[in-house]
Chain A
Amino acid sequence: MKARVTVTLKNGILDPQGKAIEGALKSLGVDGVASVRQGKVFDIEIAGADKAKAEALLKDAADKLLANTVIENYRVEVI
């Protein structure tokens, strides 16, 4: 089973990297960019076929390691 965990910065947390990318896009002439926030994507292969179990496992992985919930939110999806 393929799964994906997406980790994003919480609202209100300053994202200097996203700001730098936003500036670069603007200087490249990519029009219409209002703002950029950088995050992370983890593609994870899950053994077994139990979707509910996989979701629980992914949440556990995100809470324990993949996200720092002080500053980040995460979303899990089993594809």
Chain B
Amino acid sequence: MKSAVLVFPGINRERDMARALKLASGREPAMVWHAETSLPAGTDLVVVPGGFSYGDYLRCGAIAGRAPVMDAVRDFAAKGGLVLGVCNGFQILCESGLLPGVLMRNARLKFICKDVHLRVERSDTPFTRGYNAGQVIRVPVAHGEGNYAADEDTLKRIEGEGRVLYRYCHTDGAIDERFNINGAANSIAGIVNDRGNVLGMMPHPENHVEDIMGCTDGRGLFAGLVAHLEKAA
């Protein structure tokens, strides 16, 4: 798996992401600066990591979403290339138009930094094939603006097309407002685009991939991507 990690000013999770990608694929990802207008040849996966691009000025992800490299990412996605956005990366993908909706301020206004449980809604996608449908995984979140919102028609379409891949849940997988940490519509933690090749999620799977991190539940996502690309090759 040849991956490319985008780097914007103010991003701070790119090295965690690069480490997780290397662990899963055995290959060092390319780090791609935001001012680039193309991606390295042969890229299989583009990752938009977390952090605070441009200091979250204007709106989270708004300025990064319009950076030169995003045109290359849009072309890449239009050709079916896999794109993963985590945390600020999810916000950037929404602002760039690659994903519908928007991430609003957390409903209770607090920055949330803790482990949460996610229910994997389906296993038949490149981003979830490392898990079983209905499986509950534990991964950290660290965000102030993760409250997913979209208009009613968009939500209906996303749900109808099975595009919610991850939802905040209880340890047993139950979905309830008590476990919906940031007030997201339908407890949405991660969605894909209509074609299913672009995933945005608020939690950080890259931070639960090694024993020393105390949990390895995030590995499945990366292992699944590697397996998907091997099968495709």
A30 interface residue per 8 A CB criterion: no
* Cα–Cα, bound, A37→B190 (Å): 28
A65 touches B109 (CB 8 A): no
B59 interface residue per 8 A CB criterion: yes
A68 touches B62 (CB 8 A): yes
For chain A, which range describes its interface: under 10, 10 to 19, 20 to 34, or 35 or more residues? 10 to 19
Give me 5 other A-B pairs in contact (C-beta within 8 A), A14-B104, A65-B63, A68-B59 excluded: A13-B149, A16-B107, A17-B105, A20-B109, A68-B62
Residues of A within 8 A of B (CB): 13-14, 16-17, 20, 64-66, 68, 70-71
A16 touches B105 (CB 8 A): yes
* Cα–Cα, bound, A28→B63 (Å): 36
Give B105-124 interface residues, CB cut-off 8 Å to A: 105-109
B18 to nearest A CB, angstroms?
Answer: 29
* Cα–Cα, bound, A20→B110 (Å): 12
Q: Please give me the residue from chain B that is nearest to A71 by CB atom.
A: B102
Contacts of A68 in B (CB 8 A): 59, 62, 95, 102
